């Protein structure tokens, strides 16, 4: 089954590449060379969805499991096809219960020679406990993490594919953080410490290039549900208000003002928090938060229902199209 799916995935991506190349050959009359360079390529929702599904087909991507190792190889090989330089940052993280997690941050660099850079990030691991599942019997089971993790990675893999076809004027680094979602389960006591975002903590203190800096970063987290709405997350406003203005303004110009809402939401200790406080440059979080669920997140959050059935192609395209517009608008 896995082999059959891989063939379908490659065929779909080939078709996307073929049609994109055909579109590139069309002349755009009345458009200057500079305008043409800064026009973003067309984002493929189908391709992004296949990238999400490819991850969930491995099963829960929990550190120290076969599915985690298999997905790691898939992400490394796929990102390497598109980027100029691939970095694999292997490290061992200690979880809240003392478990040693064999982990790896994956970094794909585009135009590494350029000093003006943007970071795009998401976490690629999935939660080992469905601790918010409605069924108590499920709460010790690992989750697929289709939305919580895989959706952001899928969006960024399609962004990477587009970057490989048409270079923007700035350098871009795509970072897939590991060991983000192994935090203390609901109702469990743990020693004092920072048990979430272990991969981003590691990268923020030991980046893939010593002294690495970027103009700004954009983190994606839970961007695949059909009803997703993105507000100004609290820490994003605190550390990166100008970046929020840029991204939300771009989304509004594209007609996505009903998805990217100009309203403030609660601060979340997500991967971007450690980039802001440890790496020292602004990173914002595009994250789906909800008021009606009682958790502050979508109803599928940290449950077995966080699966591919709840991923919406259109939402992946809205987020990906917005990112490409932001990237190609940079001079």
Among 284, 120, 118, 100, which Cα is nearest to 198's?
Answer: 100
> H/E element holding 80?
helix 66-82
Model confidence pLDDT, tens digit, residues 287-330: 999 988 989 999 999 999 999 999 999 999 999 999 999 999 99
Is residue 16 domain-resident? no
Residue 145 structure tokens: 């993490």
- Which CATH number goes with the domain that contains 70? 3.40.630.10
Indicate if the pLDDT at residue 34 is higher than 80.
Answer: no
Rounded CA separation 74/55 (Å) = 8
Q: How many domains does the chain have?
A: 1
CA distance 233 to 249: 15
Chain-centre distance for alpha carbon 217: 11
Closest-CA residue to 217 (of 257, 265, 274, 263): 274
pLDDT of 6 over the 60 cut: no
Is the residue at 11 inside a domain? Answer: no
- Dihedral sign for Cα atoms in the order 220, 222, 227, 231: negative
User: Per-residue pLDDT averaged across 75-86, rounded?
Assistant: 98
Distance between CA atoms of residues 49 and 73, nearest Å: 19
Q: Is 6 within the bounds of a domain?
A: no
Q: Pick the residue with more confidence: 251 or 24? A: 251
What is the rounded average pLDDT for all residues in the chain? 91
Give me the domain span that covers residue 158: 33-185+192-329
Residue among 322, 212, 204, 317 nearest 270 (CA): 204
Distance (Å, whole) CA 246 – CA 56: 32
DSSP assigned state of 288: B
């Amino acid at each position: 089954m896995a082999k059959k799916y891989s063939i379908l995935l490659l065929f779909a991506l080939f078709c996307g590449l073929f049609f994109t190349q055909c579109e590139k050959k069309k002349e755009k009359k009345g458009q200057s060379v500079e305008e043409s360079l800064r026009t973003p390529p067309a984002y493929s929702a189908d391709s992004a969805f296949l990238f999400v599904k490819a991850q969930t087909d491995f099963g829960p991507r929990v550190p120290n499991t076969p599915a985690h190792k298999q997905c790691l190889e898939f992400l490394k090989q796929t990102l390497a096809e598109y980027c100029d330089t691939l970095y694999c940052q292997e490290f061992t993280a200690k979880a809240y219960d003392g478990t040693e997690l064999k982990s790896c941050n994956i970094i794909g660099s585009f135009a590494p020679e350029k000093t003006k850079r943007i970071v795009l990030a998401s976490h690629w691991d999935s939660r080992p406990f469905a601790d918010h599942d409605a069924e108590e019997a499920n709460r010790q089971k690992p989750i697929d993490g289709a939305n919580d993790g895989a959706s952001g990675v899928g969006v960024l893999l399609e962004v990477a594919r587009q970057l490989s076809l048409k270079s923007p004027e700035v350098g871009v680094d795509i970072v897939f953080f590991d060991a983000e979602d192994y935090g203390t389960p609901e109702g469990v006591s743990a020693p004092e410490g920072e048990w979430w975002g272990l991969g981003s903590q590691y990268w923020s203190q030991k980046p893939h290039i010593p002294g690495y800096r970027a103009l700004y970063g954009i983190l994606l987290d839970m961007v695949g549900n059909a009803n997703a709405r993105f507000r100004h997350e609290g820490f994003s406003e605190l550390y990166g208000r100008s970046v929020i203005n840029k991204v939300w303004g771009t989304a509004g110009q594209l007609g996505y003002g009903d998805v990217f809402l100009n309203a403030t939401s609660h601060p979340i200790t997500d991967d971007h928090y450690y980039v802001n406080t440890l790496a020292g440059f602004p990173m914002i979080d595009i994250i789906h938060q909800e008021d009606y669920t009682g958790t502050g997140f979508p109803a599928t959050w940290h449950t077995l229902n966080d699966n591919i059935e709840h991923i919406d192609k259109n939402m992946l395209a809205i987020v990906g199209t917005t990112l490409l517009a932001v990237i190609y608008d940079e001079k």
